[in-house]
Structure 1
Amino acid sequence: PAAALRASPLLGVPFAVKNLFDIAGLQTLAGSKIERDSAPASADAVLVQRLEDAGAVLVGALNMDEYAYGFTTENSHAGPAHNPHDLTRIAGGSSGGSGAALAAGQVAITLGSDTNGSIRVPASLCGVFGLKPTFGRLPRTGSYPFISSLDHLGPFARSVQDLALSYDAMQGPEPGAGTAANGFGPGCAQRAAERTVAQLAMGAHGLRIGVLGGYFRDNAQPEALAALQRVADALNATETVELPMVDAGRAAAFLITNAEAGSLHLDDLRRRAADFEPLSRDRFLAGALLPAAWVARAQRVRRLYAQAVAQVFDRFDVLLAPATPCAATPIGTEWFEINGRRLPVRPSMGLLTQPISCIGLPVCAVPVWGAHPHLPIGVQVIAAPWREDHALRVAAALEAAGVVRSPVATLAG
Structure 2
Amino acid sequence: MTIIVETLDLGGTGLRVVVKDTIDVAGTATRASSKSLEQAPLAAQHADVVANLLAAGARLTAKVSLHELAFGTTGINHYTGTAMNPKYPGRIPGGSSSGSAAAIAAGLADFSLGTDTGGSVRIPACCCGVFGFKPTFGRVSRKGVMPSRTSLDCVGPFAASLPMLVRAMTLIDPTFVPAQVPREARVGVLRVTAEAAIQKVVHGALTASGLSLGNVEFKHFGAAYDAGMVVINRETFDACGHLLATGNVGADIAGRLAAAGQTTDTALAEAEQVRRRFTEEVDLALTRFDVLALPTMPDFPLRIEDAGDTRAVLGMTSLVRPFNLSGHPALTIPLGSEAGLPVGLQLIGAKGADEKLLAVAERLLQNIHG
Above 0.5 in TM-score? yes
Report the Cα distance in structure 2 between the residues aligned to 1:124 and 1:222, rounded to whole angstroms: 17
Residue 250 of structure 1 aligns with which residue?
225
From 349, 353, 357, give the equivalent of 1:387.
353
1:225 aligns with 2:199: yes
Q: CA deviation at 1:292?
A: 1.2
Question: Could you tell me whether the CA contact under 8 Å between 1:18 and 1:63 is conserved in 2?
Answer: yes
Which deviates more, 124-133 or 287-296?
Answer: 287-296
- Given residue 161 of structure 2, which amino acid in structure 1 is its aligned partner? S
Residue 362 of structure 2 aligns with which residue?
396
Question: Could you tell me whether the CA contact under 8 Å between 1:110 and 1:157 is conserved in 2?
Answer: yes
Residue 121 of structure 1 aligns with which residue?
123
Q: CA deviation at 1:282?
A: 1.5
Q: CA deviation at 1:263?
A: 2.2
1:212 aligns with 2:212: no
Q: Relative to 1, partners in 2 of residues 1:41 and 1:298: Cα closer, same or farther, differing over 3 Å?
A: same
Q: CA deviation at 1:110?
A: 0.2
Report the Cα distance in structure 2 between the residues aligned to 1:335 and 1:211, rounded to whole angstroms: 33
Matched ranges for 1:339-350 at <5 A: 346-350=313-317
1:352 aligns with 2:319: yes
Residue 341 of structure 2 aligns with which residue?
375
Residue 31 of structure 2 aligns with which residue?
29
Residue 262 of structure 1 aligns with which residue?
237
| TM-score, normalised via structure 1 length | 0.82
1:89 aligns with 2:91: yes
Please give the secondary structure, in 1, of the residue aligned with 2:38: helix
Q: CA deviation at 1:335?
A: 8.3
Residue 6 of structure 2 aligns with which residue?
none
Question: Could you tell me whether the CA contact under 8 Å between 2:74 and 2:307 is conserved in 1?
Answer: no
Report the Cα distance in structure 2 between the residues aligned to 1:30 and 1:278, rounded to whole angstroms: 16
Question: Could you tell me whether the CA contact under 8 Å between 1:70 and 1:346 is conserved in 2?
Answer: no
Question: Could you tell me whether the CA contact under 8 Å between 2:30 and 2:42 is conserved in 1?
Answer: yes
Report the Cα distance in structure 1 between the residues aligned to 2:312 and 2:57, rounded to whole angstroms: 39
Please give the secondary structure, in 2, of the residue aligned with 1:23: coil
Q: CA deviation at 1:372?
A: 4.1
Report the Cα distance in structure 2 between the residues aligned to 1:346 and 1:78, rounded to whole angstroms: 21
- Given residue 354 of structure 2, which amino acid in structure 1 is its aligned partner? E
- Given residue 365 of structure 2, which amino acid in structure 1 is its aligned partner? E
Report the Cα distance in structure 2 between the residues aligned to 1:162 and 1:11, rounded to whole angstroms: 17
| TM-score, normalised via structure 2 length | 0.91
Report the Cα distance in structure 2 between the residues aligned to 1:267 and 1:56, rounded to whole angstroms: 36
1:313 aligns with 2:279: no
Question: Could you tell me whether the CA contact under 8 Å between 1:366 and 1:380 is conserved in 2?
Answer: yes
Q: CA deviation at 1:85?
A: 1.2
Q: CA deviation at 1:286?
A: 1.5
1:195 aligns with 2:177: yes
From 268, 278, 283, give the equivalent of 2:251.
278
Residue 190 of structure 1 aligns with which residue?
none
- Given residue 204 of structure 2, which amino acid in structure 1 is its aligned partner? R
Please give the secondary structure, in 2, of the residue aligned with 1:143: coil
Instruction: Give CA-to-partner distance per residue, 1:74-133, whole Å, 9 cap, x none.
Output: 011111111101321111111011111101111110000000100101111111111110
- Given residue 368 of structure 1, which amino acid in structure 2 is its aligned partner? L
Matched ranges for 1:98-109 at <5 A: 98-109=100-111
Report the Cα distance in structure 1 between the residues aligned to 2:300 and 2:311, rounded to whole angstroms: 15
Report the Cα distance in structure 2 between the residues aligned to 1:76 and 1:147, rounded to whole angstroms: 27
Question: Could you tell me whether the CA contact under 8 Å between 1:327 and 1:372 is conserved in 2?
Answer: no
1:235 aligns with 2:209: yes
Instruction: Give CA-to-partner distance per residue, 1:307-353, whole Å, 9 cap, x none.
Output: 122111121110101001222221121389xxxxxx96631221110
Which deviates more, 255-264 or 64-73?
Answer: 255-264
Report the Cα distance in structure 1 between the residues aligned to 2:85 and 2:69, rounded to whole angstroms: 20
Residue 8 of structure 2 aligns with which residue?
none
Unaligned runs of 5+ in 2: 1-11
Question: Could you tell me whether the CA contact under 8 Å between 1:19 and 1:31 is conserved in 2?
Answer: yes
Q: Relative to 1, partners in 2 of residues 1:403 and 1:355: Cα closer, same or farther, differing over 3 Å?
A: farther
Residue 50 of structure 2 aligns with which residue?
48
RMSD of aligned residue pairs (Cα, Å): 2.0
Which deviates more, 345-354 or 358-367?
Answer: 345-354
Report the Cα distance in structure 1 between the residues aligned to 2:365 and 2:184, rounded to whole angstroms: 18
Question: Could you tell me whether the CA contact under 8 Å between 2:332 and 2:345 is conserved in 1?
Answer: yes
Q: Relative to 1, partners in 2 of residues 1:403 and 1:372: Cα closer, same or farther, differing over 3 Å?
A: farther
Residue 75 of structure 2 aligns with which residue?
73
